[in-house]
Structure 1
Amino acid sequence: MNDKDRVNQSWEDTILCEVIPLGRDYIIRLSGGAHMHHHHIGAVSTAYYAEPMFVSDLEAHNRSVTNTFLAQDEISISIASDDNDTVGCQGVKGANLTHLYPHICTMTHVVPGHKEAILSEPMAMEAANRLRTTVTVIAGIHYEQLQIHEIDQVVDAAWCIFRKALTQAL
C-alpha cells in the first residue's frame, strides 16, 4: 500500500504551490506529500536573466569552469560553463535547458538523495521567463512506495499546479 491508497485524494489535492513576491523577484514554494510532515526541501533553483556576452568579451574571462561537489556517492550540485556558452550561464550539469531560455541562467542546489531538481530547475526557468525577473523555486515532494507510473502522475500534477499558480501570479 502506498500513500496514494491511504489518502484517497488526487495528486493535485496533496501538492501545494505558492508564488510569493519578494520586491521585484519571486519565490515559488512547491511542496507535497500525503501528509504535511512529508513536505520538505529537496532542491532549490534560482533562475535569473544574464546579459549576453559577445565573443570578444569572452576572451577576457576564463570560460572553462566546472565545479562538482560530492556528498557520499551522490552529486549534490554541479555548476558548469564552457567555451561554447556565449551567454555566460551556469546550470546543473546535464540539464541543458539553456536552449529554451537563452538569456536565463540557473543555479541549483540539491539535497543528497533527492530528485526534485528535475522539477525546480525547469520550473525556475519557465517562471523567470514568464515573470521577466529572478525566481527561486524551492521544491520538496515525498510519497511512500510509488510505482513508476505514479511518479509520472505526480510530476504531471506538480507541473499542472505550478502553471496554475504561475498564471494566477501574472
Structure 2
Amino acid sequence: MTVQKFQPEDIELTAMDVGRDLLVLITGGVRHIGAASTAYAEDGNVKAQTSAVPHHKEHTISESIALKLASALGRTVTVVMGIHYDNLSREQIGRVVETVNSKVDEYLLQHI
C-alpha cells in the first residue's frame, strides 16, 4: 500500500441514490474497499449485515453509520468504506472516527 500521512481533512463522503436505496462511499488517505455494511428495515427494526476485507478495520464504524443513516432516512443504505493512513496513534484514529461522523451528520442535516 502507498505511504499516506495523516490528513483527515481529505476524508470524503459521496452518496448516490440507487432507486429507493442509498449507496454511501466514505474514503480517505489511500482509498480502497475495506468494508461494506448494508442496513435495512425488517419486522419494524433496522438490521445490518457487514462484510470486511481481512486485516482492515473499517467495519468497526461502517455498520453503525449504515444503521444511523437507514434509521434516519427510512431507506436501505449501503456504506462502503476505505480509509488508510500509516501508523496512526489512538488519538488520530479517534480523529478519523470524529471526521467520518461529522461528515455523516452534515449529510443528514442536508437530507432530512
> Normalising by structure 2, what TM-score?
0.90
* More helix, by proportion: 2
Determine which of 11, 16, 20 is the counterpart of 1:20. 16
In 2, Cα distance between equivalents of 1:18 and 1:168: 13
1:42 correspondence with 2:39: no
Identity of aligned residues (%): 37
Partner of 2:5: 3
Residue type matched to 2:42 in 1? A
Kindly report which structure 2 residues correspond to 1:1-170, keeping only aligned pairs within 5 A, or say none.
3-4=5-6, 11=8, 13-33=9-29, 38-52=30-44, 103-170=45-112
Q: How many residues align?
A: 109
Q: By how many angstroms is 1:165 displaced? A: 2.0
Partner-residue secondary structure (3-state), 1:158: helix
RMSD of equivalent CA atoms: 1.4
In 1, Cα distance between equivalents of 2:92 and 2:49: 28
Of the two, which has the highest radius of gyration?
Answer: 1
**Counterpart contact for 1:45–1:136, Cα < 8 Å:** yes
1:110-156 residue CA offsets vs partner (Å, 9 max, x unmatched)? 00001101111000000000110100000110001111111111111
In 2, Cα distance between equivalents of 1:166 and 1:139: 18
Gaps of 5+ in 2: none
